[in-house]
Amino acid sequence: MTDLQNPRILRAEIRAQRFTGPTSGVGGDALQANLVILPEAEAAAFLRFAQANPQPIPLLAVGAPGDPSLPSLGNGIDLRHDLSRYRVWHDGALVGEPADIADLWRDDLVSFAIGCSFSFEDALVQAGLPVRHQSAGRNVPMYRTNIPTRPAGPFEGPVVVSMRAMPAAAAIEAVQICASLPLAHGAPVHLGDPALIGISDIMTPDYGDAPVIEEGDIPVFWACGVTPQAAILAAKPAFAITHAPGYMLVTDIPAGQAERRLRGVHARPGA
Amino acid sequence: MTDLQNPRILRAEIRAQRFTGPTSGVGGDALQANLVILPEAEAAAFLRFAQANPQPIPLLAVGAPGDPSLPSLGNGIDLRHDLSRYRVWHDGALVGEPADIADLWRDDLVSFAIGCSFSFEDALVQAGLPVRHQSAGRNVPMYRTNIPTRPAGPFEGPVVVSMRAMPAAAAIEAVQICASLPLAHGAPVHLGDPALIGISDIMTPDYGDAPVIEEGDIPVFWACGVTPQAAILAAKPAFAITHAPGYMLVTDIPAGQAERRLRGVHARPGA
């Protein structure tokens, strides 16, 4: 039987196009990442944008121009094949959702792997905290806020947040858990009254599904990986590739070891 | 000039009854403590009560029966003289507020030094977070909740909380700061809707002064050192001595080093 919980086997299955689905629930406890690919010209400004906004855009790895590997995240990763669905953008408009981008690859493309909320949701579940959209089989609700990003070159726009509602005691625990996970968006950026960050209707998110909020819950808001995607689309680069939402780059790095292994001087791949 | 910021000089001044005021703003950055003194018979149950409820009752030190010193908290501490005001209780009723308890001391008295919120408020101020009752020159508002303590012997009752209102982003930082200070009540126990923990009117606290709440603030609630006092009074021991509110035991231990120095195997006094 094919062990889709093994990230290397999973990537091989994806590369062979035998596994074509979203990556939630597969890859074991391996860190999953958002992917952004830009031509070198735009990549320099995007790198500055990411470094100025580490909470919505926690950079896990940046590829060398033209290099589709990301050795610090896993041996043998080839970004031309190893995601099950990509999105291709021309001048900010979606032009396709291919399962492989080998034919689109160019010598000037720079790849960015960006931390995603899967890792911290896993930590919340491990701690016994409710993650209501997961239990309900829904996508997490996400909202544009009135919190601005720090702009860099053509990249700017509001911080997008994801929301998870839970009792206050759980929210207090979640702050402590997530504060130690800066590569997965870190501590929440807001909790309580949504209007204070410019969200007028909590039941109508800008992205994702409607929230599940139980009585006594407080809404808790985290910086979200949709922030860079929204900024990229607004900047309308001539050419860009991203992962398709939910179809992530699966690394070799156990999520619980990501902070130590990717931040350390002696960072080692997921070998 | 007498340096009241030096905790040893301050204790000597208190012992000589030249300093007779509350200890807020003096003693430098030294850890200050709540004091509870009980006869040995009740002390055993109170010790179990404290250990079952570490968040409202963080024990810094427990004296040997009849011993008025607490060497782990400071060289030469003599609890019979070293607080500027005490409260004496008979059967749960306040019978006096002496400045010295040498004439009341007995061979069976056991002393408990309990962490207090001064230390964590200092950490919040250091981090640039608002502590509105301080800025307004008021006492912190405190409330009885519907959260029960874990009972032990005659000691039981609700957790009492203190409340500090601040913007949500500050509350998120405060959770992270206070989580690392378990000897000063640790992370908050609740935030947001006061009714969820049985507080019907936030503007009318059960102890302390009315709160200062600014627009956009969220109320944040911490377990409070009044919890054990309330439990002791409810248990109505035949005899008890406590500090008078605001007139604390000033230790030799810098507040920022308390966790490391009092929790470690090699705990050393504030020498």
Q: How confident is the model over B161-209, as pLDDT tens digits?
A: 999 999 999 999 999 999 988 888 999 999 999 999 999 999 999 998 9
Q: How far apart are CA A111 and CA A70, in angstroms?
A: 8
| Structural domain spans, chain B | 7-116+236-263, 118-227
pLDDT of residue B271: 39
Is residue B218 within 8 Å of A191, Cβ to Cβ?
yes
Strands, E assignment, B66-216: 86-90, 93-96, 109-115, 142-148, 158-167, 190-191
Q: Which residues of chain A have pLDDT under 70?
A: 1, 264-271
pLDDT of residue A180: 87
The string of pLDDT tens digits covering residues B101-154 is 999 999 999 999 999 887 788 889 989 999 999 899 888 999 999 999 999 999
pLDDT of residue B66: 97
The string of pLDDT tens digits covering residues A185-232 is 999 999 999 999 999 999 999 998 999 999 999 999 999 988 998 898
pLDDT of residue A154: 93
Interface test with A, best of B55, B146, B164, B172 (most A CBs within 10 A): B172
Question: Which residues are CB-neighbours of A132 under 8 A, at least 6 positions away?
Answer: A164, A165, A166, A211, A212, A213, A214, A217
Closest CA to B114 of B39, B37, B23: B37
Interface test with B, best of A129, A146, A161, A172 (most B CBs within 10 A): A172
Is residue A163 within 8 Å of A141, Cβ to Cβ?
yes
Q: For domain B7-116+236-263, give the CATH number.
A: 3.40.1640.10
Q: Which fold has domain A7-117+235-263?
A: PSTPO5379-like (3.40.1640)
Radius of gyration for the alpha carbons in chain B, expressed in angstroms and rounded: 18
Residues of B with CB under 8 A from a CB of A: 167-169, 171-173, 175-176, 179, 187-193, 196, 216, 218
Q: How far apart are CA A157 and CA A147, in angstroms?
A: 9
Q: What is the Cα B203 distance to its own chain's centre?
A: 23
The pLDDT of residue B265 is above 60:
no
- Token pair for residue B28? 């430098």
Cβ–Cβ gap A176/B176 under 8 Å = yes
Among A207-211, B13-17, B248-252, B267-271, the minimum mean pLDDT is found in B267-271
- Token pair for residue A212? 């599940």
State the nearest Cα–Cα gap between A172 and chain B, in angstroms. Answer: 7
The pLDDT of residue B1 is above 70:
no
| Mean pLDDT within B8-21 | 96
Q: How far apart are CA B206 and CA B198, in angstroms?
A: 12
Size of chain B, expressed as the number of residues it contains: 271
On the CB side of A76, CA atoms within 13 Å amount to: 9
Terminal CA-CA length for chain B: 22
**Homologous superfamily assigned to B118-227:** PSTPO5379-like domain (3.30.2040.10)
Cβ–Cβ gap B168/A193 under 8 Å = yes
Q: For domain A124-227, give the CATH number.
A: 3.30.2040.10
Residues of A with CB under 8 A from a CB of B: 167-169, 171-173, 175-176, 179, 187-193, 196, 216, 218
Q: How far apart are CA B234 and CA A219, in angstroms?
A: 37
